[in-house]
Amino acid sequence: MNNFISLTSAFLYKEYKTLQYYKFYSIIKFLFSLVQLVVFYYFCSLISKEYFKFLFFGLLFSKIFSHTTTVIIETIKQEQFSQTIYNIFSLPYSELIVIISSFFAKTIFFFFDLTIFILCGILFFNIKLTFNNLIFLLFYTIYTIFIFLWYTIIICSLTFLIKKSEHFIFLLNSLIDILSGVYFNPTVLPTILQNISYLLPTTYVLFFIREVIITSKINYNLLVYPTICSIIFLPISIIVFNFILIKILKTGKLTSY
Amino acid sequence: MEKIINVLSLTKSFGPLELFINTSIDIYYNSVTAISGKNSSGKITFLKLLSGLLLPDNGKIMIYEKDITKNRTYAKQFVSLALNTEYGFYPQLTLKENLLFLCKIYKKPFDDILIFVDILNLQNFLNNTFSLCSSGIKTKFWLVSSLVKNTKILLIDELTKSVDFDTRQKVYELIKELKTKFKYTIVFVSHDSNEINLLCDHWIKIEEHKFVQIR
């Protein structure tokens, strides 16, 4: 645990210094969030004001979920391009521990992004959240990141195995967003797609947060299925990662992107 | 002399290219060993295999009598690798920031590494971003950064690549000091026979994709 903390703090330092180098990156990210909300707010105002609130929490969930996948792809891509992957894989820890600690360091900065997104909603788009709601959202974000860690590890393995996999992952994430009900309730989907939707753990995690914030109901039963999925798939994802890692260490394609 | 690394019946292939073809070699504790050979003979591949960044097709690589092909994390505790490429560090970060990153990981005080920074005259370049450094500076930086890790086996690719004459003498002095004062076991790739004669206790050549012990 001590080693994991020192690794994460080292990556946190590296992330901070990298962010200092790319000074405008944070501003552009903020503007992107703002423009995204303006566009959705405009379209929602054509339907109903309640729909924007529904959509806002869908987008919030999508932001958290896509962070768990895109950050890991971005990390591996950068480490492969700069060949720092040799240095970080030379560390006397398991490669998965190194990647996860790098992911957690980036996740700490992600909380700032998420805070800005929520603040934009509150300040400019009439989203009403109590202090308790904000604390709840913090724990919800941590839960979501941990519950989908298995998916992060699978994506990480795919990034090593399939070169230029980000378009495939983007496609997969977009489908998950649509089927889980980020933009509209899954009940409007055709029956076959509804059935797929109810197989996805993301659907329940999203239902849960909407119920809590919009209707003030806390239904923990919704979290049982995603938690069971996590318990089952986390060990499987670790086995898959180690299998693929050994494969690329044999072929010598560690730095090939 | 005590053997620290035993390579047994090693074979590594990349498609049709077969390297080392079932050969064995030993590396001894607190010695300096040079590896030489033609381009594409497998010198860096050998260093990567010793550091657990590549896995062989056949054979065993024993470090302190444990097979590192089955336990890479164990190997990584003892081995430090200086690859001497143009890349390998965060290009946006300065040399100092890259070193601090490694020091934080290995829980080593930054001041402990400054002695090596001074020996190789890197102190004036610490605030330069890695991507803007010259090849010679990068070579020296690879060497310094490999010393952040608390290991006793140091693997170096092309010890004095792109460095000027004065620095070359300093690198040689540092290698001698690392061996005598800090008790390192050093394996380095070299194409320079003078360098090999000056520094090495042992010399391994890779000929026809097999190890040949010259000295």
Cβ neighbours of A249 in B, within 8 Å = 53-55, 72
HSE (CB half, 13 Å, CA atoms) of B40? 4
User: What is the helix (H) or strand (E) element at residue A248, kind and residue range?
Assistant: helix A224-251
Cβ neighbours of B48 in A, within 8 Å = 252
Question: Which residues does residue B32 pair with via DSSP β-bridges, in sequence order?
Answer: B186
So what's the pLDDT on residue A135? 92
- pLDDT tier for residue B1 given thresholds of 50, 70 and 90: confident
CA A144 – CA A205 distance, rounded (Å): 7
Residue B115 contacts residue B91 (beta carbons within 8 Å): no
Helical packing angle, A149-161 and A224-251, nearest 10°: 20
The answer, for B67 touching chain A at a CB cutoff of 8 Å, is: no
Instruction: With CA atoms as reference, report the closest residue to A64 among A173, A195, A158, A220.
Output: A173
The fraction of chain B above a pLDDT of 70, given in percent, is: 100
So what's the pLDDT on residue A256? 67
- For chain A, report the end-to-end CA distance as a whole number of angstroms: 31
Residue A222 contacts residue A247 (beta carbons within 8 Å): no
Mean pLDDT value of segment B25-48: 91
B76 with A91: Cβ contact below 8 A: yes
A87 with B88: Cβ contact below 8 A: yes
CA A10 – CA A15 distance, rounded (Å): 9
Give the residue on B whose Cα is nearest the Cα of A101: B105
Taking only the tens of pLDDT, chain A with its 257 residues reads: 778 888 999 999 999 999 888 878 878 888 888 898 999 999 888 888 788 989 999 999 999 999 988 888 888 888 888 888 888 888 888 999 999 999 999 999 999 889 989 998 999 888 888 898 999 999 999 999 999 999 999 988 988 888 777 888 889 999 999 999 999 999 999 999 999 999 999 999 999 999 998 888 888 999 999 999 999 999 999 999 999 999 999 888 877 66
Which amino acid is it at A50?
E
CA A43 – CA A179 distance, rounded (Å): 20
The answer, for B40 touching chain A at a CB cutoff of 8 Å, is: no
Q: What is the DSSP letter of B131?
A: G
| Residues A129, A135, A139: CA angle, nearest 5 degrees | 125
User: How far, in Å, are A68, A118, A187, B8 from residue A226 at the CA level?
Assistant: 15, 24, 19, 48
pLDDT in tens, A10-61: 999 999 999 888 878 878 888 888 898 999 999 888 888 788 989 999 999 9
So what's the pLDDT on residue A32? 87
The answer, for B42 touching chain A at a CB cutoff of 8 Å, is: no
SS3 content of chain A, % helix, strand, coil (to 5): 80, 0, 20
The fraction of chain B above a pLDDT of 90, given in percent, is: 52
Query: Which of A10, A94, A250 is opposite residue B101, by nearest beta carbon?
Result: A10
- pLDDT tier for residue B125 given thresholds of 50, 70 and 90: very high
So what's the pLDDT on residue A257? 64
Residue A111 contacts residue A15 (beta carbons within 8 Å): no
Mean pLDDT value of segment B20-24: 86
Give the residue on A whose Cα is nearest the Cα of B146: A87
Token look-up 């909407």 returns A210
CA A193 – CA A188 distance, rounded (Å): 10
